[in-house]
Amino acid sequence: DAGVTQSPTHLIKTRGQHVTLRCSPISGHKSVSWYQQVLGQGPQFIFQYYEKEERGRGNFPDRFSARQFPNYSSELNVNALLLGDSALYLCASSLGSTNTEAFFGQGTRLTVV
């Protein structure tokens, strides 16, 4: 079985642009969460979606948005990119609504120049 897959793996964007990151969860998992990880730090929680509804939101500005599709895949959108948005963006899927065991994808490395 495939694990959590994310695309693209690497991305370079210019300040002010918009970016869309994609995530496909493990088959059968209905919950998807997004995290931002800066080098040397722990993942920072951005969003959790379960059954296509937002269940949790971290302390990120409104420039960050996400959605979950009927097939449980998810997109993370970031508008008006800032240099500080450069990070590894991780997606994790879990079976139920409560993230007791999350399976992470390899992440998307976003560089904003």
Partner 1 sequence: GQSLEQPSEVTAVEGAIVQINCTYQTSGFYGLSWYQQHDGGAPTFLSYNALDGLEETGRFSSFLSRSDSYGYLLLQELQMKDSASYFCAVTERDDKIIFGKGTRLHILP
Inter-CA distances, 64 with 21, 81, 100, Å? 11, 10, 24
Asked if 86 and 110 touch (Cβ cutoff 8 Å), the reply is yes
Residue 31 or residue 81: which is nearer to partner 1 going by CB? 31
* Number of residues forming the site for partner 1 (CB under 8 A): 27
Cis amide leading into 25 (omega within 30): no
- Residue 85 three-state SS: helix
Under the criterion CB under 8 A, does residue 28 sit at the interface with partner 1? no
Interacting residue with partner 1 among 45, 60, 67, 73 (CB under 8 A): 45
Interacting residue with partner 1 among 102, 108, 110, 112 (CB under 8 A): 102
Scanning residues 70 to 99, which ones bind partner 1 (CB under 8 A)? Answer: 90, 92, 97-99
